[in-house]
């Protein structure tokens, strides 16, 4: 199940803003080693808000997009990898915000490394998904009859 135009636009916009704000903050903080100021604070605020929107977007693709492709056995490797990466970003963000000083360094560098990994993984997922669109969509017939009946009357 392909995302609709608006869903796709919101997904890409949220991912671009969260990535751009995170990379910008990282560049200012670690490469330019600027003292924390209003720009870095604004970037972290934008990053946090856009991360929350991204979290909602990821949740919105689970019931239809992810489920349909999982059952159809299409683009599973990059899709599952993307979900794992997003989960790691969520967990490390929680450790950055709520964790103690002892876990902060590991959480920070894991968050940065995994965040940079998304730059390659997401485009790969999109490209492979577009290639897979030309193939016929296989529906799993291994589910019990009750499950098939339920899925025929429910969009989920």
The pLDDT value given to residue 82: 85
The pLDDT value given to residue 133: 64
pTM of the model: 0.71
- Give mean pLDDT, residues 37-53: 93
Q: Taking Cα atoms as reference points, which of 89, 71, 72, 70 lies closest to residue 80? A: 70
Cα–Cα distance measured from residue 73 to residue 139, given in angstroms and rounded to the nearest whole number: 8
109 or 65, higher pLDDT:
109
Name, in order, each residue with C-beta under 8 angstroms of 40's C-beta and a sequence gap of 6 or more: 25, 28, 29, 34
Q: For the segment 71-118, what is each residue's pLDDT rounded down to a tens digit? A: 666 677 778 888 888 899 999 999 998 988 888 999 999 999 999 888
């Amino acid at each position: 199940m392909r995302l609709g135009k608006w869903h796709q636009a919101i997904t890409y916009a949220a991912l671009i803003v969260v990535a751009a704000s995170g990379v910008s903050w990282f560049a200012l903080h670690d490469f330019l080693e600027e003292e924390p100021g209003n720009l870095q604070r604004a970037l972290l605020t934008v990053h946090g808000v856009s991360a929350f929107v991204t979290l909602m977007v990821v949740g919105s693709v689970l019931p239809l997009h992810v489920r349909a492709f999982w059952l159809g056995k299409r683009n599973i490797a990059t899709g599952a990898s993307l979900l794992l990466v997003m989960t790691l970003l969520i967990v490390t963000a929680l450790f950055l915000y709520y964790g103690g000083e002892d876990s902060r360094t590991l959480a920070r560098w894991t968050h940065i490394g995994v965040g940079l990994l998304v730059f390659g993984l997401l485009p790969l997922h999109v490209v492979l998904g577009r290639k897979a669109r030309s193939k016929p969509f296989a529906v799993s017939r291994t589910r019990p009859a009750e499950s098939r009946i339920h899925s025929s009357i429910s969009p989920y």
